[in-house]
Amino acid sequence: MTKVHNFSAGPGILPAEVLQQASEACINFDNLNLSLLEISHRSKNYEAVMNEARATVKELLGLNDGYKVLFLGGGASLQFAMVPYNLLKTGGTAGYVNTGVWASKAIKEAKLIGETKVIASSEDKNFNYIPKGYGIPMSLDYLHITSNNTIFGTQIKRFPVTPVPLVCDMSSDIFSRKVDGNLFGLIYAGAQKNMGPAGATMIAVKEELLGKTGRDMLSMLDYRVHIKGDSMYNTPPVFPIYVSLLTMRWLKKNGGIEWIEKVNQKKAECIYTEIDRNSMFVGTTALEDRSTMNVTFVMHKPELEAEFDKMWKSANISGIRGHRDVGGYRASLYNALPLESVQVLVDVMKEFENKFA
Question: How many Å apart are CA 205 and CA 37, to the nearest integer?
Answer: 28
Catalytic residue among 68, 141, 173, 193: 193
SS (H, E, C) 325-351: CCCCEEEECCCCCCHHHHHHHHHHHHH
Active site residue 169: yes
Picking from 152, 202, 173, 136, the residue whose alpha carbon sits closest to that of residue 260 is 173
Question: How many Å apart are CA 220 and CA 235, to the nearest integer?
Answer: 12
Cis peptide before 137 (omega within 30 of 0): no
Active site residue 178: no
Question: How many Å apart are CA 106 and CA 166, to the nearest integer?
Answer: 14
DSSP string spanning 178-206? ---GGG-SEEEEEGGGTTS-TT-EEEEEE
Active site residue 193: yes
Catalytic residue among 169, 173, 222, 289: 169
Catalytic residue among 102, 173, 267, 289: 102
Q: Catalytic site residues?
A: 102, 169, 193
